[in-house]
Structure 1
Amino acid sequence: MPLLARLLTLRNSPLLLQLPPFASALCIVVGIAWLFILPLDEYSRQTYVSENAILPGQVHTYFGGSEHNVFRAYRQEVYGISGWDERDRLNAVESVIRDIGLKPARQDYRYTVAGEDIEGTNLYTILQGPRADATEAMVLIAAWRNFDGQVNFSGVALVLTLARYFKRWSIWSKDIIVLIPSDSTYGPEAWVSAYHSTATEVTSSRNVSELPIKAGALQAAVAIDYPVGPWGHRFDKLDILYDGINGALPNLDLLNTAVSIANGQMGIGCSLHGITAHSDKYPDRLKILTKGVITQSAGHATGPHSAFMPYHVDAITLKTLGDGWHDEMSLGRTTESIFRSINNLLEHLHQSFFFYILLGAQRFVSIGNYLPAAMLIAGNFTVTALALWVQSGRAPIASSPKSGSTNKQLQEGQLEVVKTAGAIVLIPKQATRTVQRQLFVPVLAVLAVHLLGILPIQALNTLNRAYLSLGLRIIAAISYILPAFIAIILVRGVKVSRQQIQIMQSFSLLLLGAALSTLATLNFSLAFVVGVLAAPLSFVRPLSIGRRSSNGSDVAIAMGSMGRYGQYLVEILGALTWTAVSPPTVLYAMTWYFDKDMQWMLLEMAKGWHAQGVYTPLVIWSIWWPAWILGGIVLVAGAAERVE
């Protein structure tokens, strides 16, 4: 009982109330540092194939010989029709598919985004497996234009050659769908969404045509990006693209199978995120990790495979890089071996990881090792929110010192020693009392600001392309003015108290921490990046410039030896930091990082929102932006008070 009594007395300890800011800072520092230790051997491991039935690289591939001549003929034909209009081009490719002995089918699609129509036609065919029962299928993809806008000459030719080659084999226990979309982003999205929807759902929600023919459940998809002209070009490495929409990832077994076959069976080096020079040392691992976090946090498509991930279809893209000694036959045999491994599966890929971070083609970090980084960042908001909630339930009681000697009053705890610039001041020691919290106005303010997040989402996703940059500038200007406007209304109009400001900030940070903790389990990278950018909001406190405390002494005394001007400097730096970490400022910084103009980036975000279902704008404007606005209200609320 004495121990319990001592613990209960700690509730009123001033030292305990001063710990939360340091605890929040510790969570942030450890969370960021956690990411930097992941490339170490102790926190990562070599990749391995969990599903024994895949048997990667255990079969002999026969693609080659006469197929090389067929490929060259197809590549010349693809090059010849590349300048035709879309209708004639589709007719020519359909003729090739019929000559192979397969039945072609088309699907039209059209998306309207920012006053711009995105339309095209997907061409596909189904190779029915001799041993299949039409319940499972694999997808082989070659977009007419790759993700960089180049015509995928050799990729389309290789897919047609493989379709002709696969048709002669009787080993297939799954159907093979050969898909040639118009582009690498919206064509695959239209096709896979129609494949997993009924006719009524497709026509009612989007301008996407129904698929005339379908096969069974999709097990996996492999896309080929090989934009080489009619004269051919050898490549050095295969870059494996694996990021899906909203940061979704394919089962690690599929990626490991591709790396094992390409590297072990065919002798082709594999890379990630276009980084071909990789020594498997700490700096290179950290570089791959950083690239992966940035790409995954964006949530946009990185290739034709990305659209399949939200439908739980594991998919990757094989992209050729460099100038080496590998040719189309090596890529063809690699693709053949991958499809034969997928053909061995008796059930959907499930044995390996769906949540991971790659440090290289053959090294990864599992979710149990990297998730604490985002959780610590999100946890710092919860720590601060709880501390503010506790503080809001207490009010100071200024006790007047009794007459007598100063030493006696110090011994009895009636006076408190505070150091200020160049002097030591004795002030009455303040006690605290429990007060009732007033919740209505803080809750209403938090809900109202979060509802305001709908406006920038709606504006940036519906404005015409020509006005997107102007729209963001207007939103940025409003974002910087709005906190001061709301703070003046609350302080001078509604007459909110300091307690209500604390409660409002507590609720805001509590919502931010809960949202990021939940998001971390779905898209770790997005939760981590937003958490780091929003971390300064945990340390926002009301400005006290021009305000004096109730007893007439300057509030700067509480800053100790820093004095009044030191306090002002800290507050000004805090205000500048709050401005620097605003969502509009970060969006402008992203244009510099990606070396793109603002209009292009906003248009891509709008396309992702409408056509792909990317929820990154929702996180920015409905979670991060409201918390930032509320932090600004708290910051300005102190300065908005009338000088007593």
Structure 2
Amino acid sequence: MGALSVYPVLLCYDLGLGELAFRFLMREQDALHYYSIIALFLLPSLAKNTYLSENALIPGSANPLFSTEDGIEANRFMKGIEAVVGDSIGGSGIDMANFIAQQIEDLGAEVCYHRFLPHSKHFQPLKFFTSTTNDMVIQPNSTDINFGINTIGIVRAPRGDGKEAIVLVTPYNSQRVQSNELLSLALGFSVFSLLSRAAWLSKDVVWLSADSQFGEYAAVSAWLNQYHNPVFLSHTVTLDTKIYGANHRYDGSSEKKGFKSFKRAGTMAAALIFKVGETRRHGDRDSVMMYAEASNGQMPNLDLLNVIHYLAVHRQGFRVNIAAFSSLLSSAWLRVIAEIFHTLGSVLRKINPDWKLDIMVPDYVEGTANLANSMYNQALGVPTGSHGAFRDYQVDAVSLEFLPTFHVKNENAKSLFLLRGGRLIEGVVRSVNNLLEKFHQSFFLYFLTAPSKFISVGVYMIPFALLLAPLPIVAAALADGRSMEKMVDLVDDSKADGSADILQSKSGSWKWLQAAKVLLVIQLWAVLVSLIPYYITQIPDCTPMQSALIWIMLSIIILIALYVMFGSPYSAGVEWKLLKATMITSISIGLGLMSIINFATAQLGALIVIPMSLFSRPLKASGMNFLPRAVLLASNVALAVLGFPPAMLLIMKGLSKGSWIVDIGDFWVWMEFLWEWSSATYLYIFLVHLPCWLLCINVLLHPCHQPGEAKMKQE
């Protein structure tokens, strides 16, 4: 219904009937906002089942080769690495890397090491969207002992030309190795051992044992950085045992072992990151948690997720899950909405069987919780796992976390798990190996409502389009200084005499330049506020609470200084309608640009800033009865409070974590989290949302006594 409301407007413009389009949007702009909210809540009902678009993938077409013997080899590897960890003193990271490398060499595969430093993230305004190159690579003469070591094994495809590769990643913490991490390494090695003997391989296979003592993402990102940005060293880098103390023991072959030259395979076709999580206490079967969101809302090709889901569920019997907002799963109001949509869908299906909107109540609640989490993670712009490092290089990647229901010491259950997990990974590698080109057939822009259900870009953009469509017309109406109803009447009058110009002010003045000046001043203030954290981070031993308070005080001082230098909105004599028109125009441009960078951020932001801007009206405005004025006042104040960025943090934290307690220091930590990950959401908050909020406050506090207003009322 909401989507159909836009088509007559587009048709009017195509036929040259601009006045009809203008009139339609002016009368229907309130309805469009209601339609957009309804369309947003309808999205879980409109989700489609996933399907494979690329026929070459053919998952499960071949019988798996991973057998119980490979599981036995995984157990042998696990016991060997347990012995290395138990015998080492103070240098288990080096010992584990050497043991893994030795096992890879015994398979006849190529092996190399990658040594990297922890990445010190800090705010760099001039390098916001650019990735630092080679800042985590250790130089030859470095004496820093605080570094991580990745071990890389490469199997050259017997039927390939070395131009493409498939990457398998197994993270582990070399300093505090847990039993589930050892099981992850054993699973990775057993699959790699099988692939080293596979005669059907046409793409190289790279196994990355990522040392995640500084974080899983840091280890993978450092390796990818050097993989795509080579560093040419003048001589071989060696591992000196002296820097680990006299108690560190090596065998003869590993003493003073040199770092082999960094080895590469072909262009990465896909990557799969897998690990074994902690044992669940309850559950009828083992499950797999799938993570796909990367930086700034990027998603891998949907076909990769479809292959994993099909093999995990229909071939190996795993339960596949995605992250959800737990607070929504037990929400009473969401269940009421689900009941309404279910009843309405049942009625519509009786009218037309093709309208399949009668989704079951539990499915709708779970789908909404999954959809909310998917939109939130994309809008946050921060990767949900180390797969995000691959998406920065346009490589499709997914992170899998196996959640077993057995205890690690249960040998029978562990062997069965290794068999099923190995066959799942083998099946994914087989499918990707069948591809003759990169993933491109399926969707890259989508939201997930379930592991097997998605919402495509053609559907989820409808609510956003309905919100954004009337804004330019509303801004034009306000800029003319007339009310919306009067503007629609002028359309009819212009048809009669052909002389009225509805988009040109009667006085022909250039008062809008003053409003544009106010907008530029506020935008300048917003840019300065977004850069202040760079200087605050230079202050030593500054707590988050202190940093946030300094940020707030400096922001207020800068705003006052700019108003003194360039004049405030009130001293410039700007009419509030012109100020509001400028605000709406700025919102339209900002949201439109943001939708290109990260659609989820634009969608969630539009739900807040568009009602806040359209409802804004001076609190001292007259000409209204008591009850409408009280309702308008309450709505304006409520929207202004909810639109304040710290209040947004409270809402997001409450929905995602169920915690409704927040302080000022949490806002600094949240902003620090966004800029450390170079999230475009940080730019949206300070270059789009914050200026809109301040303009809204200026409209609310406007004295509403302008020279031309009385004359306009008489007319």
TM-score under structure 1 length normalisation: 0.77
Q: Given the alignment, which residue of 297, 304, 308 partners 1:258?
A: 308
Distance in 2 between residues matched to 1:334 and 1:18, nearest whole Å: 55
Distance in 1 between residues matched to 2:667 and 2:220, nearest whole Å: 21
Q: How far has the Cα of 1:335 moved from its partner?
A: 0.2
Counterpart check, 1:126 vs 2:154: yes
Partner of 1:217: 267
Letter in 1 for 2:701: V
Q: Given the alignment, which residue of 62, 76, 90 partners 2:97?
A: 90
Query: Which whole-Å deviations, capped at 9, do the CAs of 1:395-420 have from their partners, x for residues lacking one?
Result: x9xxxxxxxxxxxxxxxxxxxxxxxx
- Please state whether the residue corresponding to 1:111 is helix, strand or coil: coil
Letter in 2 for 1:154: L
Question: Within 5 A, what are the aligned runs for 1:533-612?
Answer: 533-545=608-620, 556=622, 558-559=623-624, 561-562=625-626, 567=629, 570-571=632-633, 573-595=635-657, 602-603=668-669, 606=672, 609-610=675-676, 612=677
- Please state whether the residue corresponding to 2:224 is helix, strand or coil: helix
Question: Within 5 A, what are the aligned runs for 1:344-493?
Answer: 344-391=434-481, 433-460=506-533, 463-464=536-537, 466-476=542-552
Q: How far has the Cα of 1:351 moved from its partner?
A: 0.9
Partner of 2:118: 110
Q: How far has the Cα of 1:256 moved from its partner?
A: 0.6
What is the alpha-carbon root mean square deviation over aligned residues?
4.1
Q: Given the alignment, which residue of 504, 507, 529 partners 2:604?
A: 529
Letter in 1 for 2:298: A
Count of matched residue pairs: 566
Question: Within 5 A, what are the aligned runs for 1:141-152?
Answer: 141-145=169-173, 152=181
Q: How far has the Cα of 1:315 moved from its partner?
A: 0.9
Distance in 2 between residues matched to 1:491 and 1:636, nearest whole Å: 16
Aligned-pair identity (%): 23
Task: Say if 1:523 and 1:492 are closer, same or farther in 2 by CA, change over 3 A.
Answer: closer
Contact (CA 8 Å) 1:583, 1:620: kept in 2 or not? yes
Q: Given the alignment, which residue of 322, 338, 343 partners 2:433?
A: 343
Distance in 1 between residues matched to 2:701 and 2:615, nearest whole Å: 10
Distance in 2 between residues matched to 1:328 and 1:91, nearest whole Å: 24
Contact (CA 8 Å) 1:483, 1:629: kept in 2 or not? no
Q: How far has the Cα of 1:136 moved from its partner?
A: 0.5
Letter in 2 for 1:137: A
Contact (CA 8 Å) 1:258, 1:338: kept in 2 or not? yes
Gaps of 5+ in 2: 1-17, 124-134, 137-146, 233-258, 330-359, 407-412, 487-504, 711-715
Distance in 1 between residues matched to 2:112 and 2:527, nearest whole Å: 43
Letter in 2 for 1:98: E
Q: Given the alignment, which residue of 5, 26, 30 partners 2:31?
A: 26
Distance in 1 between residues matched to 2:450 and 2:261, nearest whole Å: 38
Contact (CA 8 Å) 2:278, 2:404: kept in 1 or not? no
Partner of 1:245: 295
Partner of 2:185: 156
Letter in 2 for 1:519: M
Distance in 1 between residues matched to 2:650 and 2:363, nearest whole Å: 33
Counterpart check, 1:36 vs 2:41: yes
Letter in 2 for 1:606: E
Gaps of 5+ in 1: 1-9, 201-208, 397-431, 546-554
- Please state whether the residue corresponding to 2:162 is helix, strand or coil: coil
Query: Which whole-Å deviations, capped at 9, do the CAs of 1:340-397 have from their partners, x for residues lacking one?
Result: 1100101111111111122212222211111111222333543432322232899x9x
Question: Within 5 A, what are the aligned runs for 1:52-67?
Answer: 52-67=55-70
Q: How far has the Cα of 1:73 moved from its partner?
A: 2.6
Letter in 2 for 1:55: I
Partner of 2:128: none
Distance in 2 between residues matched to 1:315 and 1:235, nearest whole Å: 25
Comparing 370-379 with 75-84, which one deviates more in the overlay? 75-84
Letter in 1 for 2:291: L
Partner of 2:680: 615
Partner of 2:395: 313
Letter in 2 for 1:37: L
Letter in 1 for 2:649: L
Of Structure 1 and Structure 2, which has the larger fraction of its residues in strand? 1
Partner of 1:193: 225
Distance in 1 between residues matched to 2:433 and 2:587, nearest whole Å: 45
Task: Say if 1:141 and 1:571 are closer, same or farther in 2 by CA, change over 3 A.
Answer: same
Task: Say if 1:567 and 1:608 are closer, same or farther in 2 by CA, change over 3 A.
Answer: closer
Task: Say if 1:601 and 1:391 are closer, same or farther in 2 by CA, change over 3 A.
Answer: closer
Partner of 1:294: 376
Contact (CA 8 Å) 1:380, 1:513: kept in 2 or not? no
Q: How far has the Cα of 1:333 moved from its partner?
A: 0.5
Contact (CA 8 Å) 1:393, 1:435: kept in 2 or not? no
- Please state whether the residue corresponding to 2:610 is helix, strand or coil: helix
Q: How far has the Cα of 1:107 moved from its partner?
A: 3.8
Contact (CA 8 Å) 2:169, 2:209: kept in 1 or not? yes
Q: How far has the Cα of 1:583 moved from its partner?
A: 0.9
